Amino acid sequence: MAQPAPARFPAGHSPVAHGRIGVLLVNLGTPDGTDYGSIRRYLSEFLSDPRVVEIPQILWQPILQGIILTLRPSKTGEAYRRIWDRKRNQSPLRVITEAQAAGLQRSFGDQVMVRWAMRYGTPSIGDELNRLKAEGCDRVLVAPLYPQYSAATTATAVDKANDALRGMRWQPTVRYLPPYHDDPAYIQALAQSVREHLDGLGYMPERLVASFHGMPRRTLDLGDPYHCHCQKTARLLREALGWPEEQFLITFQSRFGRAEWLKPYTAEVMAALPSRGVKSVAVIAPAFSADCIETLDELANENRELFLEAGGEAFSYIPCLNDSPAGLALLSRLVERELAGWL
């Protein structure tokens, strides 16, 4: 990568790298391994975030550090082992996010320096922001890869970036990638991925299910726009595909705890569809920019089993955009737009 022109400093001035533009892709997070300790550390960081679990910490931490982090790591570890990239000994989310950053770097060449980070786990947002600053990036676009905004995803990534900036003497100028749930380029990329997948199936599913990550119902009541963003994404995708409304379903997955979450629940819908005469479905997860445990195991494994055991005959999962040509083209377009005036 081309280096910025050497700065002319007075004699004895401390060396300072500057003049570069940085892009930091941010995804949710992943454990470093599938063993009990790695899973427990990851879950502890994730579930300790007050934006993720909105219960007073004085009440929540004894429950979390007690029964939850005693029992849950074993079950979660089993799920990760089912999808783990054994060749690279990494989770699919880490592999894909790294590939997205590499693809984006190729797209921009010497114009920008692209890094990636995880909100929970490694590499951390703070470490990568400090790395970009040390390498001369005095303008940085932080890009949370969440199409739909939620306080539990986008906002907490912004919080963590701001925590890192708080510790810097010379802060870079920072921009944040806004939600892109209704961006025409995003909808077009999703529609293209659906068409290509269905063309390769050899049959047309009776239902297309858009399964979004769930959130507690309380978040909607408090004003979080996530549910509305999901509904708009789904509507625009259905319209782009030209599917009848009655054949296109919107559901929410990954429910945790006993509180009411956004409905309908994906698992309940999958278990009920065969009794309604629906024998074939295709499922897409538009809230995820990269495949992860929630898509590769929860959807493609667990919900497939629910549907088939209930009498379904054909279940197909449509992969996320990942680092596909369409996915990288979308990221390049979004990033280039937000870098306007800097490039």
Pick the CATH number of 184-318 from 3.40.190.80, 3.40.50.1400, 3.30.360.10, 3.30.450.40: 3.40.50.1400
pLDDT score recorded for residue 9: 61
- Residue 31's alpha-carbon distances to 71, 134, 255, 316, in angstroms, are 16, 26, 20, 27
Distance CA 190, CA 233 (A): 10
Tokens of 189: 């990329």
The mean predicted confidence, pLDDT, of the chain is: 95
% residues pLDDT > 70 (the chain):
95
pLDDT-based confidence at residue 11 (cuts at 50, 70, 90): low
> Taking the CB of residue 2, how many other CB atoms lie within 10 A of it?
8
Cis peptide before 178 (omega within 30 of 0): no
- Name the residue ranges covered by the structural domains of the chain: 20-180+327-338, 184-318
* Partners of 27 in beta bridges: 118
Which 3 state secondary structure label does DSSP give 158? helix
Tokens of 239: 């319209």
pLDDT score recorded for residue 256: 87
Q: What is the largest CA-CA distance in the chain?
A: 80
CA dihedral 219, 321, 144, 169 (to 10 degrees): 170
Per-residue pLDDT at 4 exceeds 60: no
For the segment 281-338, what is each residue's pLDDT rounded down to a tens digit? 999 999 999 999 999 999 999 999 999 999 999 999 999 999 999 999 999 999 999 9
Cβ proximity of 123 and 132 under 8 Å: no
Cβ proximity of 189 and 298 under 8 Å: no
Topology of the domain covering 20-180+327-338: Rossmann fold (3.40.50)
Per-residue pLDDT at 2 exceeds 80: no
Compute the average pLDDT of residues 41-66: 97
Residue 143 carries which DSSP code?
E
Per-residue pLDDT at 259 exceeds 80: yes
Per-residue pLDDT at 258 exceeds 90: no
pLDDT-based confidence at residue 18 (cuts at 50, 70, 90): confident
Concatenated DSSP letters of 215-284: -BHHHHHTT--HHHHHHHHHHHHHHHHT--GGGEEEEEE---SSS-BSSSBHHHHHHHGGGGT--EEEEE
How many alpha carbons fall within 13 Å on the CB side of residue 245?
2
Per-residue pLDDT at 12 exceeds 70: no
Domain 20-180+327-338 shares a fold with domain 184-318? yes
Per-residue pLDDT at 265 exceeds 60: yes
15 compared with 160, residue with greater pLDDT: 160
